[in-house]
Each structure stands twice: as structure tokens, then as C-alpha cells.
Amino acid sequence: MHMATRFAITAAIFVLLPMDFTAAKERTAEEFRAYASRRIAKIGDQQLTAFVDAVDRDSDGMITDDEFANRIDVFQQIFESVQPIPRGAGHALPDNWLTDFEQARKKSTETGKPILAMFSASWCGPCKAMIANVYPTDEAKQALDAFVPVYIDSEKHPDLATKNDIRAFPTFICFDTTGEAMDQHVGGGDVDKFVEMLATFVESATKLEQESAK
């Protein structure tokens, strides 16, 4: 398999949804190809074939449960190896959001506030929806006041995505002032769900702070 062909899939969108026939012990490569084509956007036939071939490790034309379970790791390995092609900047982040993790760590140390990191990508639809419809609201702004919010473009910072085992977008991680992960949530949502998630993160941060003070 040509490396450039195999790695071209990194520009695609891989949506982590349950497979339609998860009860099966194994499925044919063609069945997996049909599944993957529904879950990956903006991918050509050649790139799709490369991905299916990579998942089918023993090249027997069948995708076993173990091979299917490894599909995300295969995608992640490809994602780690090559800088993807950005799909567009999308909506602008509010002014209170940073885009540099080290800068967020510095501000977190100065303010004593935990970091809220949103791991995303320029092509992530749910991420764009939250940036456009959730973050500008008064409820979200008020809840975010307890954090140092930072947007991590996983296409530009694959090292951070790999280090934190990011497998879907958006993934939210709450870090303490030292940059240590305390809590995590995968998936987007509306204003109420976002504020609820932040409240859970505050509880986690408070609990760890109390335990460390003992």
C-alpha cells in the first residue's frame, strides 16, 4: 500500500457510532467498507480501500471482532503520522478562549482556575455548532468563568491529541493548574448539557483539591 494513499484518510471525518451489525462475530471487508463509507465523509474510493485494507490485518477479506475493535486505533495511527489538510476555520471562538495549551497552563497557574480544553478539528460539525450556538450564550459564559478555556485543534497539535488519547470530537478534558487531566467528557451538546458538564468538572476539581489539602 502506498503510504501517501493510506495516510490521505487523515483528512476525512471518522464519526464514532455503533456498527449496524455489532452482534456478528465477523463481517466481510465489503460490509465493513459500506459501514465505513457511511461513517467517513469526504473520502475517495482509493482512500477508503486503503483504510479497509489496514483494518483487515490478515488480508483475508473478513473483519473479525478484534480487527473491528482495532479500527479506531488504525485511524488514530494514521492520524498521528501525517498532518491532515484543514477543512476550514469554521466559526470564530469567543475572545475568552485561548488556542495554545501552554498559554492556558500559564494563565491557569496565575489565576488558580482549572483548564477546560476542547479537543476538536476544523471539520467537526458538532464542534462548530457549539462554537456558534453555545459558547456565545450568557449561561455558557458564566459557567466558563470558573475555567481557563482553550481550543485545541487536533490537526495542528496531533501530539496533544495522541498524549490524551483523543478518539472523537469534541472531547472535553478538565486539567488542573499543573496540566494534569482530572475529568473528561466526549461529545457535544446544547447549552444545558454544556453547563451541566462544566458543573461536573468543577466538582471533580474541588474534590481533588480537597483531597490534596489533607
Q: What's the helix, strand, coil split of the chain in %, to 5?
A: 50, 15, 35
Domain ranges of the chain: 3-81, 101-213
Give me the mean pLDDT over the 45-65 stretch.
83
- Average per-residue pLDDT in the chain? 80
- Separation CA 102–CA 84 (nearest Å): 22
Instruction: Give catalytic residues, as residue numbers.
Output: 124, 127
Domain spanning 101-213: CATH superfamily? Glutaredoxin (3.40.30.10)
Contacts by 161-164, CB closer than 8 A, 24 or more apart: 161/79, 161/119, 162/76, 162/80, 164/119
Kindly report whether the global pTM for this prediction surpasses the value 0.75: no
* CATH domain 3-81 topology: Recoverin; domain 1 (1.10.238)
> What are the tens digits of pLDDT across the range 106-129?
999 999 999 999 999 888 888 988
